[in-house]
Amino acid sequence: MIATDLLVAQNVGFGIISLLMIIGAVRVVTVSNVVHAALWLVIVLSGAAAQYLLLSAEFVAITQVLVYVGAVMVLFLFGTMLTRARIGAESDLNNKNWFLGIPVALLMLGVMSYVIVDGFGSERLIENSGDMQPIPIQVISDDIFGPYLLPFWALSFVLLVAVIGAIVLARKD
Amino acid sequence: MLAHEMTSEVVASTGWFLEHAWLIPVIPAIAFVLIIFFGKKMPMKGSELGVLSMLSSLVFSGGAAWQWIQRVNSVVDGAHEAVVEGAHHAAPYVQPVIHEWTWWQSGGFHFGIGHHIDGLALTLLVVVAFISSLVQIYSLEYLRGDRRYTHFFAALTLFSAGMLCMVLAPNMVQLILGWEIMGLCSFMLIGHWWEEEANSRAALKAFFTVRVGDMGLLIGTAILFFSANNWTQKNLGVSGFNISGLSAWAMSGEASQSALTWGAVALFIACIGKSGQFPLHTWLPDAMAGPTPVSSLLHSSTMVVAGVFLVARLYPIFWEGMKIGDTNINFIVLIGGITIVIAALLAFVQHDIKKVLAYSTVSQLGYMMMGLGAGAWLPAVFHIFTHAFFKACLFLSAGSVSHSGSHHSFDMKKDMGGLAKKMPITATTWIISTLALAGVFPLAGFFSKDEIIDNVGYGGYNAFMIVGLTGAFLTAAYMTRATYLTFFGEARGAAAGIHHDAHDAHDAHAAVDTHNSHDTHVVDSHDAHADHGPHESPKLITVPLMILAALALTAGLSNATPFGESWERFKKYVEPGSEYVMVGSETADEHGAADEHGAEVVEIAAASMSVASEEKVTKEGCAVVAPEAGMVCYFPTVSHAPFKWSKAALSLIIVALGLVSSWLFCVQYYTRRNKRLVGLTERNKVLRGGYTFLWNKYYLDELYEKVIVRSIAHPIAKAAYWVNQNILDGIVNGAGKVSRRLAGWVYRNIDQRVVDGAVNGSGAAARGTGGALRPVQSGKVNQYGALLFSAAAIGALILVIINT
Amino acid sequence: MLTTQFLLLGAVLFCIGVYGVLARKNAVMVLMSIELILNSVNINLLAFSVRHGSVDGNTFALYVIAIAAAEVGVGLAMVLLIYRNRRTIALDDLSEMKG
């Protein structure tokens, strides 16, 4: 009973990916080279896509790879290039008082972990893990264009404004 | 219940106009779009579209009103036949005509749009459409040649669309939509001549002051939605935004008292802002910076009564939330009473004719609020109706005077006087409306204002009846003063035909005037005025004036209580019956959701259409007896004061005293220059103090701008700065010192003693950090971020601790 | 699989992102840290989507991704503008908002 429910392979996969993601995330916020940080971020984002697959959200995972790993990372690298950041290591990438972040982050982590463990404990994500089926895209589209049409409209508007705004801001006059 | 139950079926008639009432705001909305896009190319620059759309809205409203009267007649007569021997006391409840369609939905919430037509909505619809039509016709002449002529008509039309949309809203979401459209149009129209800084400042002031109140509307709606939604879904199958659902919920006795009270208070704050009640009334007189037609339409007869309308519309909420049925002083009656007196006093010291009228409007709105707060629902609504006519007429007359008589000036003391002979039509309409406003029998104001005062006393609010009578005296007096200064006595300034260069003292005015005239008029027509001196206005101005004056004379007869019950048409057709209505006789079709709740649930939205069986119950009205299962009611039982000539005579005498004493004073003061009166305010300390106090509008503007803004905004800014400078920097400093000491300690103890490469390195790193921290940099953004996130974390921590 | 493990992963990533936002000086790095935060939120959304057996979480994860793309676009445009005007993108030097 336990053997069928535990899904050893998935749990091991989760552990490895999580470890990679956390290491990657820590590197993103600590390395002293902007380009390296961007490359570490690629690892975190790909790891997140893998986690989405574990959560049977295929469409979101694909979108993640396309949008984040594809487009957003290219944007970041362009931004790095255009602002002529040094490709090598930089000494002053951090604030002078960067240590303020540590207690704040630890405090938040403490509170959140307590709440999560207290609230969910060892609760299963789904009663029978074998039942987890990939969500058909059709269902997602029904959801987007049904009850959540209005946020979708608002989102389209935000994207339009962002495109115009980005052009206006970055245009050279 | 069985004993009283009437099984007869009362068929409420309906009609095309009632079923298609949603067209009334849609027509001007379409006209607005057309004016914006094609207006400038039209032969009359788009104004014809505005006028035509308002006229067709008027026709539709009139048709709907006519069919509503038929409907009420059919129900009342049916009820009469049905109840021959039954103990029938409560007025029968006539189902409003409600249609609601899903406008948008999000995450399972449906937001409807549609119409809710009953007597109250129709009263406002007719008034708004009627006054809008007349004002647009008037503006054809008044704004001829204006540089933003097309935009003016576009904004005016959009305003009408917004107001009509709000008036027939079946739910709070649509009401907010209309409410905000009105606010936007008010802003655009007050600032119509924004080239002058005073005008754009006035527009901003109006917008922001009203917005302060509008927060209350959102908060109140949210409070009511979340407390009522379950009940209304279960019992009526409508959402907690639905106005009739909210009314029924408030009257059901199952509503939480605190939710009702706080919801009512929040909504009333919105009404204070919109309807210019006491603490937030300061924007309304400044709003007179807009063109006169705007003051007439928006800031006297229609938009500013939106707050009164909201209270009247959701009356059960206020009735239960504020405990209006008791005779204790409540929030609404208190604010209304204060507003009446302080605004009326302010009207005495104004030089600008439009500001007199503005304060008069504030004061009259106070009457309506006081009436609603004291349970006099019907007189208050009736006062909206009559007030709209005579106040619109007063404003348009003032505009006519300024347009043709006083050379675009509104200053009564400098540029008016003696105009009665030169402008006979304007003078007549003004005087008729003044008498109507003062409440002289048998003009419109008498029947509404006297009823409010009478009913306030009858409801047990005796102190406020005296406030009302005082207000009546003051109203008569300040209107007489304005009338005298404008139309009688000697002609002064522009009214005497004095030209810019002819008079030294006139120069300051002349400078402003030429500036104005470039905005308002093409130069040649302006010169034409200047050549002729004061003269009567053209027909496009006088005809609307005469129509309004005729209504100011007669509108009161539509609910003339003194003449017996057959004259009380408003009571019959406008006031909703306070009768329990059985829930569950029709099936819903428009919302699929309603069906889930089973057969007991009825969709009120569709109730009116095929309406066949409304089971009538003979009970003594709502809130008097406890409801039985499956019964709801939509309106509380309000009392009506029986009319007594003795009481009417008292108020008439007070009004007459006000008129006569003020007239005598004006003659003595302004014409005879009586030595004992002239300069009295300079000689007498008490009077001078009072005058200065009034002249500075009770120093409320100073209070808001200097005291409140400075005492709240400045200390906050200062405190933030102090925190930034001392605490944050202190933390950073302290942290720096600690790390440096730590580094030193590490260096001395560990590094020196334990000769180890790794430890050596960490000690050096720590020392480096400490050294780097010494000069405290201004990493402000990050500091703010740190503050934000740690505050969030601590807040979450506190919540966790409280909840465990 | 447990609910907790995904939520904890999200929490850890979120806090690392917060640290990054607070500690980094370079504006591009701050934007990257914000991407970490948004991704941790997405993990939570999808975990809850599975837990409650509804697709709403998927929908909103997609919305978050779209918003993030818009945010990065505008953010980098602003960074470019700031760089053009001031020749630096160190957030420390931008203290016009100082009281």
Task: Name the residue ranges covered by the structural domains of chain A.
Answer: 2-89, 136-173
Residue B196: inside a domain, yes or no? Answer: no
> For the segment C21-46, what is each residue's pLDDT rounded down to a tens digit?
888 878 888 889 999 999 999 999 99
* Average pLDDT over chain B, rounded to an integer: 77
Cα→Cα distances B463→A71, B623, B658, Å = 72, 25, 20
CB A155 within 8 A of CB C37: no
State the pLDDT confidence band at B522, using cuts at 50, 70 and 90. Answer: very low
> For the segment A94-143, what is each residue's pLDDT rounded down to a tens digit?
776 677 788 889 999 999 999 999 888 888 877 766 667 788 889 999 98
Is the pLDDT assigned to residue B738 strictly greater than 60?
Answer: yes
Q: Which residues contact C10 (CB under 8 A, 6 or more apart)?
A: C40, C41, C43, C44, C47
Phi/psi at B281 (nearest 5 deg)?
-80, -5
Distance from CA of B28 to the nearest CA of A (A): 26
Q: pLDDT at position B177, please?
A: 92
Is the pLDDT assigned to residue A24 strictly greater than 90?
Answer: yes
B747 in the same domain as B687: no
Burial (0-12, 13-18, 19+ Cβ within 10 Å), B428: middle
> For the segment B351-378, what is each residue's pLDDT rounded down to a tens digit?
888 888 999 999 999 999 999 988 888 8
Q: Which residue has the tokens 């569709």?
A: B606
State the pLDDT confidence band at B232, using cuts at 50, 70 and 90. Answer: confident
Two tokens, residue B127? 């008034």
Whether residues A18 and C5 touch (CB distance < 8 A) is answered with: yes
Q: What is the CA radius of gyration of chain A?
A: 20
The verdict on B735 touching A (C-beta cutoff 8 Å) is yes
User: Which fold is adopted by the domain A2-89?
Assistant: Four Helix Bundle (Hemerythrin (Met), subunit A) (1.20.120)
Two tokens, residue B485? 């200064």
Axis crossing angle, helix B149-167 with helix B172-190, rounded to the nearest 10: 160
Lowest mean pLDDT among B46-55, B149-158, B179-188, B762-771: B762-771
Distance from CA of A3 to the nearest CA of B (A): 35
Distance CA B155, CA A143 (A): 39
Lowest mean pLDDT among B233-237, B396-400, C5-9: B233-237
Angle at B351 between CA B347 and CA B352, to 5 degrees: 85
* Nearest CB neighbour to B106, from listed A97, A99, A147: A147
* Nearest CB neighbour to B779, from listed A97, A105, A149: A97
Q: Which of B579, B574, B596, B587 is nearest to B632 (CA)?
A: B579
Distance CA B284, CA B205 (A): 9
Query: Taking CB atoms and an 8 Å cutoff, what residues of chain C touch B717?
Result: 99
Host domain of residue B751: 700-777
Whether residues C9 and A151 touch (CB distance < 8 A) is answered with: no
Distance CA A117, CA A120 (A): 5
User: How many inter-chain contacts (A to C, CB under 8 Å) are there?
Assistant: 254
Q: What is the CA radius of gyration of chain C?
A: 17
Is the pLDDT assigned to residue C7 strictly greater than 60?
Answer: yes
- Other Cβ atoms less than 10 A from the Cβ of B668: the count is 15
Residue B436: inside a domain, yes or no? Answer: yes
Query: Taking CB atoms and an 8 Å cutoff, what residues of chain B touch A99?
Result: 735, 739, 769
Whether residues C50 and A100 touch (CB distance < 8 A) is answered with: no
Transcribe B652-707 into DSSP letters: HHHHHHHHHHHHHHHIIIIIS--TTTTTHHHH-HHHHHHHHHHHTGGGHHHIIIII
SS3 C76: helix
Q: Which residue has the tokens 């990679």?
A: A20
Q: What is the CA radius of gyration of chain B?
A: 31
Q: pLDDT at position A91, please?
A: 64
User: How many inter-chain contacts (A to B, CB under 8 Å) are there?
Assistant: 63
Whether residues C50 and A96 touch (CB distance < 8 A) is answered with: no
The verdict on B732 touching A (C-beta cutoff 8 Å) is yes
Domain total in chain B: 2
The verdict on C97 touching A (C-beta cutoff 8 Å) is no
Last residue of a domain, one of B676, B695, B714: B695
Transcribe A80-143 into DSSP letters: HHHTT--SS--TT-B-TTGGGHHHHHHHHHHHHHHHHHHHHTT-BSSSSGGG--PPPHHHHHHH
* Most confidently predicted of A45-49, B242-246, B704-708, B726-730: A45-49
pTM: 0.71
The average pLDDT across B191-208 equals 86
Two tokens, residue B292? 């006169």
> For the segment B394-440, what is each residue's pLDDT rounded down to a tens digit?
999 988 888 887 777 777 777 777 777 788 888 889 999 998 988 88
Which chains does chain C touch, 3 or more C-beta pairs < 8 A?
A, B
Whether residues C62 and A29 touch (CB distance < 8 A) is answered with: no
Q: Which residue has the tokens 């209350």?
A: B216
Distance CA B168, CA B266 (A): 22
Number of Cα atoms under 13 Å in the Cβ half of residue C22 = 24
Is the pLDDT assigned to residue B84 strictly greater than 90?
Answer: no
Phi/psi at B115 (nearest 5 deg)?
-140, 155
Q: pLDDT at position B288, please?
A: 86
- Other Cβ atoms less than 10 A from the Cβ of B707: the count is 11
Distance CA B226, CA B237 (A): 15
Distance CA B262, CA B26 (A): 34
Q: Which residues contact B271 (CB under 8 A, 6 or more apart)?
A: B213, B277, B306, B307, B308, B310, B311, B369
Is the pLDDT assigned to residue B626 strictly greater than 70?
Answer: no
The average pLDDT across B654-683 equals 76
State the pLDDT confidence band at B525, using cuts at 50, 70 and 90. Answer: very low
Cα→Cα distances B178→A143, B123, B172, B174, B310, Å = 30, 17, 10, 6, 12
Q: Which of A150, A151, A62, B107 is nearest to C56 (CA)?
A: B107
Distance from CA of C88 to the nearest CA of A (A): 8
Q: Which residue has the tokens 């290491």?
A: A23
B454 in the same domain as B383: yes
State the pLDDT confidence band at B787, using cuts at 50, 70 and 90. Answer: confident
Q: pLDDT at position C18, please?
A: 92
Lowest mean pLDDT among B186-200, B590-604, B786-800: B590-604
Q: pLDDT at position B782, please?
A: 73
Distance from CA of C96 to the nearest CA of A (A): 17
B464 in the same domain as B342: yes
Distance CA B267, CA B218 (A): 8
SS3 B421: coil
Distance from CA of C69 to the nearest CA of B (A): 22
B551 in the same domain as B450: yes
Distance CA B286, CA B297 (A): 15
Burial (0-12, 13-18, 19+ Cβ within 10 Å), B755: exposed
b/e per residue A75-94 (b: at least 16 CB within 10 A)? bbeebbeebebeeeebeebb
Distance CA B357, CA B354 (A): 5
Whether residues A150 and B105 touch (CB distance < 8 A) is answered with: yes
Query: Taking CB atoms and an 8 Å cutoff, what residues of chain B touch C97?
Result: 780-781
Task: Map out the domains of chain C as residue ranges.
Answer: 26-90
> For the segment A26-69, what is each residue's pLDDT rounded down to a tens digit?
999 988 888 888 899 999 999 999 999 988 888 999 999 999 88
**Which 3-state string (H, E, C) describes C7-70?**
HHHHHHHHHHHHHHHHHECEHHHHHHHHHHHHHHHHHHHHHHHHHHCCCHHHHHHHHHHHHHHH
CA dihedral B378, B379, B380, B382 (to 10 degrees): 90
Distance from CA of A119 to the nearest CA of B (A): 11
Chain C from 10 to 49: CB within 8 A of any B CB? 18, 21-23, 25
The verdict on C76 touching A (C-beta cutoff 8 Å) is yes
Whether residues A148 and B800 touch (CB distance < 8 A) is answered with: no
Q: Which residue has the tokens 């409003």?
A: B96
Q: Which residues contact B75 (CB under 8 A, 6 or more apart)?
A: B10, B12, B92, B94
Query: Taking CB atoms and an 8 Å cutoff, what residues of chain C touch A139?
Result: 55
* Nearest CB neighbour to C59, from listed A80, A148, A162: A148
Whether residues A150 and B106 touch (CB distance < 8 A) is answered with: yes
Q: pLDDT at position C37, please?
A: 94
Q: Which residue has the tokens 């008589």?
A: B405
CA distance from start to end of chain B: 50
Q: Which residues contact A145 (CB under 8 A, 6 or more apart)?
A: A152
Q: pLDDT at position B194, please?
A: 84
Whether residues B106 and A148 touch (CB distance < 8 A) is answered with: yes
The verdict on C34 touching A (C-beta cutoff 8 Å) is no
Whether residues A150 and B777 touch (CB distance < 8 A) is answered with: no
* Nearest CB neighbour to B780, from listed C22, C23, C97: C97
Whether residues C3 and A123 touch (CB distance < 8 A) is answered with: yes
pLDDT over 70 for what percent of chain B? 75
Lowest mean pLDDT among B316-320, B366-370, B577-581: B577-581
Chosen for mutation from A29, A97, A150 (greatest number of chain B CBs closer than 10 Å) is A97
Distance CA B275, CA B687 (A): 30
* Nearest CB neighbour to B781, from listed C18, C94, C99: C94
* Most confidently predicted of A151-155, B276-280, B717-721, B763-767: A151-155
CA distance from start to end of chain C: 50
Is the pLDDT assigned to residue B610 strictly greater than 50?
Answer: no
Which chains does chain B touch, 3 or more C-beta pairs < 8 A?
A, C
CB B644 within 8 A of CB B135: no
Q: How many residues does chain C have?
A: 99
User: How many inter-chain contacts (B to C, CB under 8 Å) are there?
Assistant: 33
B754 in the same domain as B687: no
Distance from CA of C34 to the nearest CA of A (A): 11
Transcribe B722-753 into DSSP letters: HIIIIIIHHHHHHHHHHHHHHHHHIIIIIIHH
Distance CA C50, CA B378 (A): 57
Query: Taking CB atoms and an 8 Å cutoff, what residues of chain B touch A147?
Result: 105-108
CA C67 to chain centre: 10
Q: pLDDT at position B593, please?
A: 37
pLDDT over 90 for what percent of chain B? 15
Distance from CA of C23 to the nearest CA of A (A): 4
Whether residues B777 and A96 touch (CB distance < 8 A) is answered with: yes
SS3 B377: helix
B757 in the same domain as B668: no
Query: Taking CB atoms and an 8 Å cutoff, what residues of chain C touch B779?
Result: 25, 91-92
The average pLDDT across B237-247 equals 86
Q: pLDDT at position B310, please?
A: 93
Whether residues C17 and A85 touch (CB distance < 8 A) is answered with: no
* Average pLDDT over chain C, rounded to an integer: 85
Q: Which of B276, B452, B474, B302 is nearest to B391 (CA)?
A: B302
Q: pLDDT at position B764, please?
A: 61
Q: Which of B482, B449, B480, B479 is nearest to B467 (CA)?
A: B449
